[in-house]
Amino acid sequence: MSLGMTLLVALRALRRNAMRTVLTALGMIIGVSAVIVMVAIGNGARSSIEANIRAVGSNVVNVNAGSFGMGPVRMGAGNTTSLTPEDAAAIREEVPGIRYLSPGVNLRTQIVSEATNWGTQVQGAGPDLAQIRSWSTEFGSFFGEQETRTAAKVAVLGAVVRDELFGPGADPTGAMIRIRNQPFRVIGVLTRKGQAAMGPDQDDTVVIPYTTAQRKLLGITHIQSIMLSAEDGVPLDRVSTSITNLLRIRHNIIGDQDDFMVRTQDEMTSLFTSTTDTMTWLLAGIAAVSLVVGGIGIMNIMLVSVTERTREIGLRLSLGARDVDVLLQFLVEAVVLSLVGGTIGLALGFGASYGVGRVVGWPTLVSSDAILLAFGFSAAIGVFFGFYPARKAARLDPIEALRYE
Amino acid sequence: MAQPVIAVRDLTKVYHLGEVDVHALRGVSLDIHPGEFVALTGASGSGKSTFMHLLGCLDKPTSGDYHLKGRDVSKLSSRTLAEVRNREIGFVFQGFNLLSRTTALENVEVPLLYARVRARERHARAREALDAIGLGERLDHHPNQLSGGQQQRVAIARALVNRPSLLLADEPTGNLDSRTSIEVMGIFQQLNAERGITIVLVTHEHDIAEYATRIVSFRDGRVRSDRPVPVRREASAELVTLVEQMAREELSA
Ligand SMILES: Nc1ncnc2c1ncn2[C@@H]1O[C@H](COP(=O)(O)OP(=O)(O)OP(=O)(O)O)[C@@H](O)[C@H]1O
Ligand SMILES: [Mg+2]
């Protein structure tokens, strides 16, 4: 039988059991749309992160205390006391090409206003942070050298924190808030940046002088990180090498593991994007499991179909069908089934990606890769899971099949 | 005499049912020549259907030879066997075996699909076959919209559409009333007489066997008797008298 006719016969058989076809295809529909949505979200997150990090500026270098894999205990960044304000000062003095530099001491805590309270990230920083992160203020201003030197209890609020504590759009400059039971004066509100694709909301933060964070809130003398930006045109890898060399000397590190990490913004970008990529493939992989489940559904229904149509198969064999004809008939049916599911799933995945994008406010990107993948996958699943039932049909003995009750 | 269509020698068939061997055929030898109309009779379980399946290349014998038109069937590949079933043999079953929810025309087209005949010719030939059998008006009917006799006629049209030289029918009238049986036998006699198609027909009704030219009787997997029909019944003539009789009855009522 010609392939065209085989296709026609398959379509008819599927239409005859329309409800069953739809239910069976549902597995593929869910699987394919899930894969599409997951990849779309992942791609969206990636491009959003890239855009965000690019907005920070590509000339930024981060130094973090601690390192992964230090000593017998693997410690996360920021868990060691080895990085000091003197290190920061030395970097600024001795490493050429640095424009802005801000030491960092962060903590999570509850912020209390007269009316309410809000848990957020408190960033202790230097006055340069505003320049490094291109932050402007909506109200008031950022703190300066003076406040930093004196460890003044002043705070600049992110837009989200202001919204939560004082109401959306309010100007709280001059108001008092309490951080760990100490009174701080609000001196400014940062202009809103918008939700980042990953990590904490950039607007959900409070910035205070790092000296204040050290002395008044934590009672420490070390710092956790240093963020700096280079002069235009200065190669970042040279800056980061100089910093590394300088800190090794200052920390007396010879051949051992460094107790700090220096990362350029590009490295941060690729770190984040590779994390999102991993996440994307993980999610897509989980979604692909539902494709396999869909495939098993197809196999199941094809086996039922072969059993139901045993007499028909016997009849066709007696009328001159070759075993390949029978094999193809059922294989094509399975592939059509899974492709129908794949196509509907693709449409649904498009719609859902768009919907998710609207809801979370990221661009979700349905790539042509994902489309090809979905189609390839569903066709492959049709062939893979359809083959066994089809072969079973093709191997039927004509007489036994004709006698089948 | 011309070469026989069917030449079987010492054909045996054993079914293995667990521990038990069922000897369905115990050595059958038979020649059937072109243009013959043979009726196979015998008690239930005597091996008639088994023999027909072997003749139709739907099954393989345990031992013995079967030459179809001079070709040794046991030497043919499964692909060639499918082709033989498709081109050279028409099969009619007791239970009609039509594809449900498929029109009469499409049912008749099935063998042509496997012969890879193009759509236009396929439709034309199927239509022609149904016309010849008096079902030209019912092309678009599904089996469940047809009477038993009509369904069997569709099945006959399907068996003939690829112009085989051999027609095998296993109790084709088994599910039909006597009048419809006569009609079907009339079709067989007409095909046999006008187109010279060789027909082998299984029946356990003696009066049906008498429409044939030769009766081969089976018992316990062997040929018990093989004789020509002395006084052959003529279905067409019987139908005419039957119709007249019915008309008279209707008048008197
Ligand atoms: N697939 C099978 N497996 C086992 N035994 C079988 C099989 N087919 C037929 N037989 C046995 O072979 C013998 C002959 O069966 P067959 O169907 O040929 O008889 P038959 O003459 O056609 O009978 P009937 O007039 O009832 O149709 C019977 O004893 C039957 O039980
Ligand atoms: Mg039988």
Q: Which of A360-364, B48-52, B166-170 has the lowest mean pLDDT?
A: A360-364
Any idea what the CATH number is for the domain that residue B69 is in? 3.40.50.300
- Ligand 1, atom nearest to B171 Cα: 27
pLDDT score, position A211: 95
Q: Evaluate whether residue B79 is within a structural domain.
A: yes
Rounded to whole angstroms, the Cα distance separating B225 from A95 reads: 116
Q: Evaluate whether residue B142 is within a structural domain.
A: no
Render pLDDT for A249-275 as a digit per residue (tens, 0 to 9): 998 887 778 888 888 877 777 777 788
Among chain A residues, CA nearest to B83: A320
For residue A213, what are its two tokens?
A: 């964070």
Q: Evaluate whether residue B226 is within a structural domain.
A: yes
Of A48 and A353, more confident? A353
Q: Evaluate whether residue B191 is within a structural domain.
A: yes
**Helix-, strand-, coil-residue percentages of chain A, each rounded to 5:** 55, 15, 25
Q: Which of A209-213, A278-282, B131-135, B179-183 has the lowest mean pLDDT?
A: A278-282
* pLDDT-derived band at A73, boundaries 50, 70, 90: very low
Contact A320 B58 (CB under 8 A): no
Q: Evaluate whether residue B109 is within a structural domain.
A: no
Q: Evaluate whether residue B64 is within a structural domain.
A: yes
Render pLDDT for A93-141 as a digit per residue (tens, 0 to 9): 999 999 999 999 999 999 999 889 999 999 999 999 999 888 899 999 9
Q: Is the pLDDT assigned to residue A76 strictly greater than 60?
A: no
For residue A374, what are its two tokens?
A: 């979905």
Q: Which of A312, A322, A402 comes nearest B99 by C-beta?
A: A312
Q: Cβ(B47) to ligand 1 under 6 A?
A: yes
Q: What's the per-residue H, E or C state across chain B? A: CCCCCEEEEEEEEEEEECCEEEEEEEEEEEEECCCCEEEEEECCCCCHHHHHHHHCCCCCCCEEEEEECCEEHHHCCHHHHHHHHHHCEEEECCCCCCCCCCCHHHHHHHHHHHCCCCHHHHHHHHHHHHHHCCCCCCCCCCHHHCCHHHHHHHHHHHHHCCCCCEEEEECCCCCCCHHHHHHHHHHHHHHHHHHCCEEEEECCCHHHHCCCCEEEEEECCEEEEEEECCCCCCHHHHHHHHHHHHHHHHHHC
Among chain A residues, CA nearest to B114: A1
Domain enclosing residue B22, as ranges: 6-96+166-252
Rounded to whole angstroms, the Cα distance separating A6 from A9 reads: 5
pLDDT score, position A57: 66
ipTM, two decimals = 0.93
Rounded to whole angstroms, the Cα distance separating A56 from A246 reads: 25
Q: Evaluate whether residue B146 is within a structural domain.
A: no
Of B135 and B32, more confident? B32
Contact B58 A398 (CB under 8 A): yes
Q: Evaluate whether residue B102 is within a structural domain.
A: no
Of A360 and A379, more confident? A379
Q: Is the pLDDT assigned to residue A42 strictly greater than 70?
A: yes
Number of domains forming the structure of chain B: 1
Query: Token match 């499964």: residue?
Result: B78
